[in-house]
């Protein structure tokens, strides 16, 4: 217990110190931010863009470079990690907007989330037995991949990152009520996608 408390205090102190340095416009603090949060930020982006590794790398790079350039605008009203994810959120949104523009021009479905990262599950077995196997993750991953990106994002922040609604609201730039409405719709749509697999 004591060790856990010490770890939490240390992490809290590091975060506070980072926040202070960022507020002072210390661009070097972004290097420490990178060391502390790179893997987490990458993982969130990776899942948010439907497990597309090249896209995740591009967006992660854009996020940290953008953070370096805009460090002077950090006001300290949110945690550094939240600030980083809010930058990532905008980069993800920009990416999907570009995709949509390209899709309209080329009239092709370019949604990357249904891409070639994994195989389709075996449709011959009933869902309940499939769900009890390791393919559960694949099925859920595919269903997540079919969601619009902002639904996917909000589910990741809520259930994977275990963030409170207020923090998600700061990241996504939406009101808390809007986030709650988004969460409800995201869950319903995901369940509907999983039911489609069930009806198979």
Partner 1 sequence: MPDFDNEEQFSKIIKDACEPAAPSPEFQSRLNNLVSSEAGRHSIRTPRRPWASPLVWASTALAAALILLSLVLWYQPSGQSPLVIPEPSTSPVSTPTPETTPSTEPTSGPSPTPSVEPSATPSAEPSPTPTMLASTGTLQIKVTDAPPEREVYSILVTLSNIRVYRESDEADGEGEWITVIEEPVSFDLIFLKENGVEQILGDAEIDIGYYTQIRMDITEVEAVVEGEEEVIFPSEVLKTAGEFEIEEGKTTTLLFDFDAAKSLVFTGEGKVMFKPVVKLIVTGPE
**Region from 6-14, 85-93, 109-117 binding partner 1, contact rule CB under 8 A:** 85-93
Q: Does 131 bind partner 1 (CB under 8 A)?
A: yes
Cα separation, 93 vs 157, in Å, equals 15
Q: Judged by CB under 8 A, which of 13, 177, 196, 200 binds partner 1?
A: 177
Output the six-digit token pair for 67: 């953070």
Tell me how far apart the alpha carbons of residues 169 and 124 are, in angstroms, rounded to a whole number.
42
| Stretch of 9-17, 79-87, 108-116 lying at the interface with partner 1 (CB under 8 A) | 79-87
Distance between CA 200 and CA 194 in Å, rounded? 10
Joined together, the tokens standing for residue 5 give 């408390």
Look at residues 12, 31, 155, 176 and name the one whose alpha carbon lies nearest to residue 79: 12
Q: Which residues bind partner 1 (CB under 8 A)?
A: 26-28, 30-31, 34, 38-40, 42-43, 46-47, 51, 56-57, 60-61, 64-71, 73-75, 77-78, 82-83, 86-87, 90, 93-94, 97, 127-128, 131, 136-137, 140-141, 144, 155-156, 159-160, 169-170, 173-175, 177-178, 181-182, 185, 187, 191, 194
């Amino acid at each position: 217990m004591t060790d856990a408390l010490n770890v939490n205090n240390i992490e809290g102190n590091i975060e506070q110190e980072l926040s202070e340095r960022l507020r002072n416009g210390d661009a070097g603090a972004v290097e420490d931010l990178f060391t502390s949060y790179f893997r987490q930020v990458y993982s969130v982006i990776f899942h948010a863009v439907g497990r597309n590794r090249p896209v995740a790398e591009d967006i992660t790079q854009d996020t940290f470079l953008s953070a370096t350039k805009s460090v002077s605008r950090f006001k300290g009203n949110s945690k550094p990690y939240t600030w980083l994810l809010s930058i990532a959120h905008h980069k993800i949104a920009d990416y999907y907007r570009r995709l949509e523009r390209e899709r309209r021009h080329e009239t092709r479905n370019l949604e990357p989330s249904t891409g070639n990262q994994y195989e389709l599950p075996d449709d011959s077995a009933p869902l309940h037995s499939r769900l009890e196997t390791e393919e559960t993750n694949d099925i859920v991953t595919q269903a997540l991949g079919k969601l619009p990106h902002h639904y996917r994002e909000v589910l990741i922040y809520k259930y994977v990152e275990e963030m409170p609604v207020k923090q998600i609201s700061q990241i996504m730039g939406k009101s808390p009520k809007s986030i709650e409405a988004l969460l409800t719709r995201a869950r319903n749509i995901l369940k509907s996608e999983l039911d489609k697999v069930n009806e198979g």
